Amino acid sequence: MAVLALCLLVSAWMSEAHPVRLAEGLPRIGEYFARILPTLHWSTLFAGTETEGSLAFWFYRIDDWLLLLAETANMAAVATLGGIVAALPLAFLAARNTAPTPWTATLARRFLEALRTVPSVVYALIFVWAFGVGALAGVLAIALHTTGALGKLFAEAIENGDHRPWDGMVAAGANWMECCRFGALPQALPSILSYSLLRFEENLRSASVIGFVGAGGIGEELYKVISFNYYEEISAIIVLIMLAVMAIDLTSEQIRHRLAGAL
């Protein structure tokens, strides 16, 4: 505990997380949140878009925002699927109990580390410069980072499996790909599906953020309203993103439970 406390103090000092600065900044955070909260009146809460103080007035551009949110969800879904397809074969190469040779596992692990070390926003900046502003840059950025993250998790799930089915298939004359498919994958599949669904939830949030650099989705709109200080629109978009994440979280939880029971 003494060592941890010392490390915490040193880290706080080097990162300039001084208590005085925190105390000075907290009221400003509260002031900003107070600004973005809408002014709602119970008497006009369910009135039309022209009436101030109503929900409709707060979400007066909900049609446009829902389309952008759908684009963001599609970006996250495509990027997650692409990351899964790329991560799965790399995971078998990175897992020490399924890699053809030790150096293959080492190279695969270093490659996956390189992919997930670079933040999605940095990938998005590169792809925006290469392909232009739009959703394609966001999909590629999230897919690359997803490949690195899921590759590590998939490899750990494969390593935690029983190696006896693999040995039995080798003894029966199966090749490496057949051993991966029938000896290792069935054991790791529940964890792989669970990790994939969890990553989809995370990618929805990532897709909302990388829109700040022009990579498409609701993030571009959120960056715009923040830049122009459209306070109530900021809170409306944030509420929509939160509701979308909650809906995906609840749906994914049900899917995980059903898949776990089926497998």
Instruction: State the pLDDT at residue 263.
Output: 58
Q: Residue 246 has which token pair? A: 């909650």
Count CA atoms closer than 13 A to 254's CA, side-chain side.
Answer: 5
Identify the burial level of 9 via C-beta atoms within 10 angstroms of its C-beta, where 0-12 means exposed, 13-18 middle and 19 or more buried: exposed
CB-based contacts of 41: which residues, under 8 Å, 6+ apart?
Answer: 52, 53, 54
Q: Is the dihedral of CA 88, 94, 100, 106 positive or negative?
A: positive
Instruction: State the pLDDT at residue 245.
Output: 83
Instruction: State the pLDDT at residue 261.
Output: 65
CB-based contacts of 243: which residues, under 8 Å, 6+ apart?
Answer: none
Q: Residue 113 has which token pair? A: 């580390």
Is the CB of residue 69 less than 8 Å from the CB of residue 220? no
Instruction: State the pLDDT at residue 248.
Output: 82
Q: Is the dihedral of CA 62, 64, 65, 69 positive or negative?
A: positive
Count CA atoms closer than 13 A to 256's CA, side-chain side.
Answer: 17
Residue ranges of alpha helices (H) inside the chain are 2-14, 19-36, 55-58, 62-94, 102-117, 120-131, 135-159, 164-171, 176-179, 185-210, 218-227, 231-262
3-class secondary structure per residue, 76-138? HHHHHHHHHHHHHHHHHHHCCCCCCCHHHHHHHHHHHHHHHHCCHHHHHHHHHHHHCCCHHHH
pLDDT tens by residue, the chain, 263 residues? 999 999 998 998 888 887 888 788 888 888 888 888 888 888 888 888 788 888 888 888 898 999 999 999 899 999 999 999 999 999 999 999 899 998 999 999 999 999 999 888 899 889 988 888 888 888 999 999 999 999 999 999 999 988 888 888 888 888 989 999 898 998 888 889 889 988 988 898 888 888 888 777 888 888 888 888 888 899 999 999 889 888 888 887 787 777 666 65
Alpha-carbon distance of 216 to 76, in angstroms, equals: 11
Domains of the chain: 65-262 (1.10.3720.10)
Alpha-carbon distance of 184 to 162, in angstroms, equals: 8
Angle between helices 62-94 and 231-262 (to 10 degrees): 40
Instruction: State the pLDDT at residue 260.
Output: 64
Fill in the DSSP letter of residue 184.
I
Instruction: State the pLDDT at residue 249.
Output: 80
State the amino acid at position 207 in one-letter form: A
